[in-house]
C-alpha cells in the first residue's frame, strides 16, 4: 500500500521535480518507509512506499523494466503475485525482486491490457511506456484503491489523494456544486457515485476501468475491463455443493490475503463478516496468534459488541486489542479526519474505525483484514429483505415469497410490507426516463433545507442501472456501483492509510463476487436470515452466538444520541454560525428547525442528514476557506 503521484506535461515542458516532490511528500502517511521519483523530460512519476511485500530496496518504486524501459508506480496489492510470477518465469521473464509490483510490470509486457483480468487484488497503478510514448493507468475492479486526476490541454496529473493534486500550482480548490447537491440532497450523503469529486475539475478513474493517455496528441481514452456478467448462472448437484464451493472460494481469498512480510491482524467488529474472516484466518495460520482489533463502548451499550467478540476470541485464540471511542473526542480529532478523507463522508462509523486503525499502528501491525464488502456481496442489510420479496413475486415464486414474508413479519413485528415491496417492483419495471419525469413532476427530490437557487441550478438525478433480471441482484449491483460500497471503500482507504495501515477485504475477491451474482436469491436470504450461504458454509467454524445473530451493527457509533446530548451544543453552534449562513447551499432557518425537531424527537432518523450538513461545513472550512 502506497501513495502514487505523477506529472505529464503535454506541452512538452520539463516536469518539475519540486512540484512532484511536494505531491509525494503530502502523501507520506500512505508510504512512510521510502520515497522515489522518476523524471524524464515532460514525464515525472513519484512514489511513497509502505513496505509490505519484499521489504528490500529491490522493490522500491518507481520501478523500471530492464527489457522494455517501462516505468511503474503502484499502490495496492496483487495477492496472487506468486502464482503469476512463477508463470512469467516459465515464459522467460527474469525478476530482480520478490514484489508484486514487478509482477504487474512484466505481466503488462506479456499480456498488455489483458493482464488486468489475471490480477486478484486491489490496485491503482500507472505504467509509462517510453517507446509508445503513452501511459497506461488502471484501477481495481471495485475501486478499493483510489486514483484521482486533473487534466487540461497542457497537463495531466494524477495521485492517490486529492490533496496531492492541490499541491500543483495549476490546480485550484473549488467546490463542485453538482457533487455537493447529491451529497446533501440524498439524506444519506452520497459520495464517489461518478467520476466527479467535490473539487471542480478533479476526476477519478472509475472502478473496473483502465485508461491510456498519448503523450503525442493528448488523447485520453477510458475503458471498462470488468463487470459481473448478468448472463452467468451456476448450477449445483445439490445445496451442499453450493455451500462447499463458496467455502473453498472464501478460504482461498483469506489465504491469499494473509500473504505479508510484516505483522498482520484482523479488524473484528463482532459481526458475521469480520468474525468469519477471523475464524478462517486463525485456522489457516495454524497456531500462530492472530491479533484482533475492536472498537467498543463503555456507556453506549447499544453499540458495544463485546458479547459477540468474546466467543470469536475464545474460538480463535486471537489476542484482543480494544479501543473505546468517546463523543468528546469527535470534534477534537475531526479536523485531522477530514484532512485525510479529502472529501465529506457519509457515516460516522468512520469514528470508531479511525481509532481501530490508530491502535493497529500503535501495536506495530501494518496489515488488517476487514469485512468490507460482505454486506453488499451477501445481501446483509435489512432493506434487502424487501428486495427479496419483490424478486420472488416478480419471478412467480409466490409460495416462497409468502413463506419468507410471514417469517419476516413474525420476526420483526411488522404487519404491512406490501406497499414498499410494490414500490420496489414498480421502480424496477419503470424505465429510467419515466422515473426522471415522475420525480421531476412530483417535486419531491429537493429537500426544503436546501437553498432553492442552488438546488435548481445543481439538481441532477442519480440514475441506477438495470443490468440484472433479478431484482435483488440488480439492487446489489447498484450497491457496488453507486451506494454504499464506494463511500465505504473511500472511508476505509483513507482511515487505514492515515495511520500507514493496509486494509484488505477478503469478501471483495472478484471470484466470490462473481459467484454470488451467479446464484439465486435463495442463497442470500432464506428462512428470515441474511447471508444464508455464509452461515451455512461456516456452520462448524463460527461460534453459534455470532452465526445465529440477526441484528446488524458493524463499527457503529451512537450518532443520534450524541447529537441530542453530548454534541448538541457544538452542532448547533456550527449550524447557526455566520459562515454556515453565507453558504449558497442551505436555507439556514429550515436547517435549524429540522435540527430542533430532531432534538425534540419528532424526526428521530434525521441524524444522517444533520451529519452531512456538519461534515460539509467542516470540509468547506478546511479545504475551500482554508481556515487553520
pLDDT in tens, 44-76: 999 999 999 999 999 999 999 999 999 999 999
**What's the pLDDT at 71?**
98
Task: Say if residue 135's pLDDT is above 80.
Answer: yes
The answer on pLDDT for 438 being more than 70 is no
The b/e string for 258-296 (b: 16+ C-beta within 10 A; e otherwise) is bbebeebbbbbbbbbbbbbbbbbbbeebeeeebbbbbbb
- Kindly state the percentage of the chain with pLDDT values over 70: 96
Which pLDDT value is given to residue 224?
98
pLDDT band at residue 579 under the 50/70/90 scheme = very high
Contact status, residue 116 vs residue 210, Cβ threshold 8 Å: yes
Per-residue pLDDT band at 560 (split at 50, 70, 90): confident
What are the tens digits of pLDDT across the range 1-40? 799 999 999 999 999 999 999 999 999 999 999 999 999 9
Q: Which of 272, 271, 475 is nearest to 389 (CA)?
A: 475
pLDDT bucket at 299, cuts 50 / 70 / 90: low
- Tell me what percent of the residues of the chain surpass a pLDDT of 90: 83
Q: What is the pLDDT of residue 556?
A: 55
Q: How many CB atoms lie within 10 A of CB 197?
A: 21
User: Do 471 and 194 contact (CB within 8 A), yes or no?
Assistant: no
Interatomic CA distance for residues 388 and 530, integer angstroms: 10
Q: Out of 90-104, 415-429, 491-505, 591-605, pick the least confident.
A: 415-429
A 10 A CB-CB count for 420 gives: 15
- Whether the CB-CB separation of 53 and 259 falls below 8 Å is answered with yes
Distance CA 155, CA 42 (A): 9
pLDDT of residue 628: 41
CA–CA separation, 539 and 555 (whole Å): 24
Residues of the chain with CATH 3.60.20.10: 2-224
Q: How far apart are CA 26 and CA 3, in angstroms?
A: 9
Distance CA 350, CA 452 (A): 31
Burial of residue 180, with CB atoms counted within 10 A of its CB: 0-12 exposed, 13-18 middle, 19 or more buried: buried
CA distance 257 to 251: 10
Cα angle 491-115-131, degrees, rounded to a multiple of 5: 105
Residues of the chain with CATH 3.40.50.620: 239-378+502-547
In sequence order, what are the beta bridge partners of 213?
135, 220
Q: Which residue has the higher pLDDT, 183 or 324?
A: 183
Has residue 576 got a pLDDT over 90?
yes
What's residue 325's pLDDT?
76
Q: How far is CA 368 from the centre of its chain?
A: 15
Question: What is the pLDDT, as a whole number, of residue 439?
Answer: 46
**Cβ proximity of 327 and 562 under 8 Å:** yes
Q: What is the DSSP string of 136-183?
A: EEEE-TT--S--EEEE-SSEEEEESSHHHHTTSTT----B-HHHHHHH
Dist CA 497 CA 312 (whole Å): 27
pLDDT tens digits along 386-401: 999 999 999 999 999 9
Which long-range contacts link 105-113 to residues 24+ away (Cβ below 8 Å)? 105/63, 105/65, 105/70, 105/72, 106/65, 108/70, 108/72, 108/136, 109/65, 109/67, 109/68, 109/70, 113/210, 113/223, 113/225
Predicted local distance difference test score (pLDDT) of residue 443: 39
> Residues 257, 506: contact at Cβ < 8 Å?
yes
Whether the ω angle into residue 62 lies within 30 degrees of 0, i.e. cis, is yes
Residues with catalytic annotation? 2
What end-to-end distance do the CA atoms of the chain give, in Å? 29
Angle (CA) 496-499-504 rounded to 5° is 30
Fold of the domain spanning 239-378+502-547: Rossmann fold (3.40.50)
Query: 441 pLDDT exceeds 50?
Result: no
Which strand (E) or helix (H) includes residue 545? helix 544-547
Q: For the ranges 121-130, 264-273, 368-377, 414-423, which has the lowest average pLDDT? A: 414-423
Omega of the bond leading into 484 within 30 degrees of 0 (cis): yes
Q: Which of 264, 335, 272, 324 is nearest to 294 (CA)?
A: 324
Residue 557 — very low, low, confident or very high, per pLDDT cuts 50/70/90?
Answer: low
H or E stretch covering 7: strand 2-9
For 181-237, what is each residue's pLDDT tens digit? 999 998 777 899 999 999 999 999 999 999 999 999 999 999 999 999 999 999 999
Supply the CATH classification number for the domain 2-224: 3.60.20.10
pLDDT given at position 442? 36
Q: What is the mean pLDDT of residues 493-502?
A: 98
Inform me whether the pLDDT recorded for 408 exceeds 70: yes
Interatomic CA distance for residues 465 and 119, integer angstroms: 26
Amino acid at each position: 500500500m502506497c501513495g502514487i503521484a505523477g506529472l505529464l506535461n503535454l506541452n512538452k515542458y520539463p516536469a518539475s521535480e519540486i512540484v512532484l516532490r511536494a505531491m509525494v511528500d503530502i502523501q507520506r502517511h500512505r508510504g512512510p518507509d521510502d520515497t522515489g521519483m522518476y523524471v524524464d523530460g515532460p514525464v515525472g512519476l513519484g512514489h511513497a512506499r509502505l513496505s509490505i511485500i519484499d521489504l528490500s530496496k529491490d522493490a522500491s518504486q518507481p520501478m523500471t523494466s530492464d527489457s522494455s524501459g517501462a516505468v511503474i508506480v503502484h499502490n495496492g496489492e496483487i495477492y496472487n503475485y506468486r502464482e503469476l510470477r512463477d508463470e512469467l518465469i516459465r515464459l522467460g521473464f527474469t525478476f530482480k525482486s520478490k514484489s508484486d509490483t514487478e509482477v504487474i510490470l512484466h505481466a503488462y509486457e506479456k499480456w498488455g491490457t489483458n493482464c488486468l483480468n489475471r490480477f486478484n487484488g486491489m490496485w491503482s497503478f500507472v505504467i509509462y511506456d517510453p517507446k509508445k510514448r503513452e501511459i497506461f493507468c488502471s484501477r481495481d475492479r471495485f475501486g478499493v484503491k483510489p486514483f484521482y486526476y486533473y487534466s487540461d490541454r497542457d497537463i495531466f496529473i494524477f495521485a492517490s489523494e486529492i490533496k496531492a493534486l492541490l499541491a500543483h500550482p495549476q490546480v485550484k480548490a473549488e467546490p463542485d456544486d453538482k457533487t455537493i447537491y447529491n451529497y446533501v440532497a440524498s439524506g444519506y450523503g452520497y459520495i464517489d457515485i461518478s467520476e466527479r469529486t467535490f473539487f471542480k475539475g478533479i476526476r477519478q478513474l472509475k472502478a473496473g476501468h483502465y485508461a491510456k493517455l498519448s503523450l503525442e496528441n493528448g488523447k485520453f481514452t477510458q475503458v471498462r475491463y470488468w463487470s459481473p456478467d448478468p448472463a452467468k448462472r451456476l448450477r449445483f448437484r445439490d445445496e451442499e455443493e453450493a455451500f462447499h464451493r463458496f467455502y473453498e472460494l472464501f478460504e482461498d481469498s483469506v489465504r491469499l490475503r494473509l500473504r505479508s512480510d510484516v505483522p498482520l491482524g484482523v479488524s473484528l467488529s463482532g459481526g458475521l463478516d469480520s468474525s468469519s474472516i477471523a475464524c478462517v484466518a486463525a485456522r489457516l495460520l495454524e497456531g500462530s496468534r492472530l491479533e484482533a482489533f475492536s472498537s467498543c463502548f463503555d456507556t453506549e451499550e447499544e453499540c458495544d459488541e463485546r458479547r459477540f467478540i468474546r466467543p470469536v476470541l475464545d474460538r480463535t485464540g486471537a489476542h484482543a486489542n480494544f479501543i473505546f471511542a468517546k463523543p468528546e473526542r469527535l470534534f477534537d480529532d475531526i479536523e485531522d479526519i477530514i484532512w485525510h478523507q479529502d472529501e465529506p463522508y457519509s457515516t460516522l462509523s468512520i469514528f470508531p474505525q479511525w481509532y481501530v486503525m490508530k491502535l493497529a499502528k500503535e501495536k506495530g501491525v501494518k496489515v488488517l483484514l476487514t469485512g468490507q464488502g460482505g454486506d453488499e456481496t451477501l445481501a446483509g442489510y435489512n432493506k434487502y429483505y424487501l428486495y427479496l420479496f419483490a424478486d420472488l413475486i416478480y419471478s412467480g415464486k409466490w409460495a416462497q415469497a409468502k413463506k419468507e414474508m410471514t417469517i419476516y413479519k413474525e420476526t420483526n413485528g411488522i404487519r404491512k410490507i406490501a406497499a414498499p415491496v410494490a414500490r420496489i417492483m414498480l421502480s424496477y419495471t419503470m424505465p429510467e426516463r419515466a422515473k426522471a419525469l415522475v420525480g421531476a413532476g412530483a417535486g419531491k427530490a429537493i429537500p426544503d433545507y436546501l437553498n432553492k437557487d442552488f438546488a435548481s441550478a445543481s439538481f441532477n438525478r442519480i440514475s441506477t442501472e438495470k443490468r440484472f433480471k433479478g431484482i435483488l441482484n440488480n439492487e446489489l449491483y447498484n450497491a457496488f456501483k453507486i451506494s454504499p460500497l464506494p463511500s465505504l471503500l473511500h472511508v476505509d482507504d483513507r482511515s487505514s492509510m492515515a495511520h500507514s495501515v493496509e486494509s484488505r477485504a477478503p469478501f471483495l475477491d472478484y471470484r466470490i463476487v462473481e459467484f454470488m451474482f451467479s446464484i439465486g436469491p435463495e442463497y442470500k436470504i432464506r428462512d428470515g436470515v441474511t447471508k444464508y450461504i455464509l452461515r451455512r458454509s461456516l456452520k462448524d467454524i463460527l461460534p453459534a452466538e455470532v452465526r445465529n445473530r440477526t441484528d446488524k451493527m458493524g463499527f457503529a457509533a451512537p450518532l443520534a444520541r450524541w447529537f441530542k446530548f453530548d454534541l448538541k451544543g457544538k452542532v448547533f453552534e456550527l449550524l447557526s454560525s455566520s459562515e454556515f449562513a453565507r453558504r449558497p447551499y442551505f436555507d439556514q432557518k429550515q436547517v435549524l428547525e429540522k435540527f430542533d425537531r430532531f432534538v425534540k424527537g419528532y424526526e428521530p432518523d434525521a441524524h444522517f442528514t444533520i451529519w452531512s450538513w456538519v461534515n460539509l461545513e467542516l470540509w468547506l472550512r478546511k479545504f475551500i476557506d482554508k481556515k487553520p
